[in-house]
Amino acid sequence: MTNAEAGGKFFSRQMWIWLALYALFALTFVHFQVYGDALVYFNLLRRFAGEHPDFAFAYQFGSDVWNAPFFAVGRVLSAIFSPEPKIFHVSIEEISITVACQVAFLVTLYLGWKLLRGLRLPASASVLFVTVLGSQLFYYVMFEPAMKHAVDTLYITAAVVLLLRIQTRSFSDRHVVALGALAGVSVNTRYVNAAFFFAIAVAFALTNKRALILAGSVAVLVGGLLFALPALRGISYFEPSYFPRSAIAHLASGGSTGPVASTTNPFNGFDPLIPLKMLFTDHRGMFVWTPLTAFGAVGYALALRREHEAGRRRFLWTLLGASVALLVGHTFWAEWDGAYSYSSRFLTAEFPLVLIGIAELRRRFGRSLYVPLAACIGWSFILMFVHVVGYDGITAGDSATDEIHHFVATPSQFVVKVRKLGTKRWVYIGGLMHGTDPDHVHGP
């Protein structure tokens, strides 16, 4: 394995090439507007800043911890230039959230590099970017950067890197404290992440009770304080309309309607098939929409089978348990498909496991591995762009089969749509560089 393949340094020549290509793609297609579920986290930031948006409530808002400094800079720039300047059809505050997502992505890449280096696996820029391109992460940093999935993945990846340090090398209390703090923030980002960190807690209980007590205490403290912040500012918490208080008493009294979860009340029952649906169905199955992740799962199993060093083997088993716990944690969530989402978006944070698996396959099969992975990425990109540009009658219930069917029926139409999307962005950028707004966002 050459030094470049091993990833001798993060900002290698290969990495700069990949980053340049990524930047070109981002300038062409990245979205800046905050909409949909992302308004929940964005409006909460605005409310904390003293604004009064149409609605603002606290719900799984841990991504705001990362976004807040970027949002603050955006507010300063807005105050300097104009209260409501419109660039790329959105405010500077919205652009700041996209910038925050891109920085989170870059830090996640760096942490992924450190993770692979710690496991003595190939850590080249190609391994990192190929894994990203074939996973849900690429879609959510590019087309829905205001959503919480990129930051959620950052938190989980950082926690995994700390876990590797604690289980395989000498460590200090600050590493354990940092892991506990990440757990507290991560659970406030997605409540189901509690399952991920519970599995880690079990591993600590078996091998390092002191780390369990310290990390657990910090997690409860940080998580509790963060959760309480909105209340201190008089901001209400979100109670889903599909989970009214009357349903709580009904469930507590054993009034569930059956073993399969309801489609209108995600907490109304337990569906043991949900993890399988999240992986294998063509509706939103991760292995179907983003098949490179299936390669990653196989590679991870091979890495676990090969590894004999006690510390690294313990780490791999712990991460596997935590990743499975995160998957199984969705068995009470009938809305597992994430509505109009790309692939299984709630499993985006499984990125560290997939990355390790792809790196292990790269170690075993060399560059020939990139041939099937390129095919996987091509498939995922077709679905991704069809998902972005859409077609007549597209709904949140459409599957991968539906989207591929429409693409195969009129492939040229989709190519034209994508080309127009990219061309329009560069015409707009060109106009801005010449001091004009081609779309007249600033007025006549």
Torsion of CA 48, 49, 54, 60, to 10 degrees: -40
Instruction: Tell me whether residue 26 is in a domain.
Output: yes
To 10 degrees, what angle do helices 370-389 and 292-306 make? 140
Task: Say if 256 falls within a structural domain.
Answer: no
The number of beta carbons lying within 10 Å of the beta carbon of residue 49 is 13
**Mean pLDDT, residues 211-235:** 96
The residue type of 291 is: P
Q: Is position 165 within any domain? A: yes
Task: Average the pLDDT over 270-287 and give the result.
Answer: 93
Contact (CB, 8 A) for 400 and 341 = no
Residue 261's pLDDT is what?
A: 43
When pLDDT is cut at 50, 70 and 90, the band that residue 334 belongs to is confident
pLDDT at 252 over 50: no
Q: pLDDT, tens digit, for every residue of 258-273?
A: 444 444 555 554 789 9
pLDDT digit string, tens, across residues 176-188: 999 999 999 999 9
At residue 216, what are phi and psi to the nearest 5 degrees?
-65, -40
Asked if residue 442 belongs to a domain, the reply is no
pTM reported for the whole predicted model: 0.92
DSSP at 346: G
Percent of the chain with pLDDT over 70: 89
pLDDT of residue 259: 42
Residue 242 covered by a domain: no
In b/e form, how buried is each residue of 389-428, taking b as 16+ CB within 10 angstroms? bebeeeeeebbbebbeebbeeeeeebeebbeeeeeeeeeb
Residues 73-92: tens digit of each pLDDT:
999 998 888 756 667 778 89
252 CA to centre of own chain: 33
296 found inside a domain: yes
Q: What is the domain count for the chain?
A: 1
In a domain, 421, yes or no: no
- Other C-beta atoms closer than 10 Å to the C-beta of 190 total 23
- pLDDT of 1 reads 61
For residue 309, pLDDT over 80 is answered with yes
Instruction: Quick: pLDDT tens for 397-436.
Output: 899 999 999 999 999 999 999 999 999 999 988 988 887 7
Spatial distance between the Cα atoms of 400 and 386, rounded to a whole number of angstroms: 10
Contact 115, 355 (CB under 8 A): yes
Domain containing 26: what range?
Answer: 3-235+265-409
- pLDDT (mean) for 48-57: 91
Q: What is the mean pLDDT of residues 247-258?
A: 44
Residue 329 lies in a domain: yes
Contact 110, 129 (CB under 8 A): no
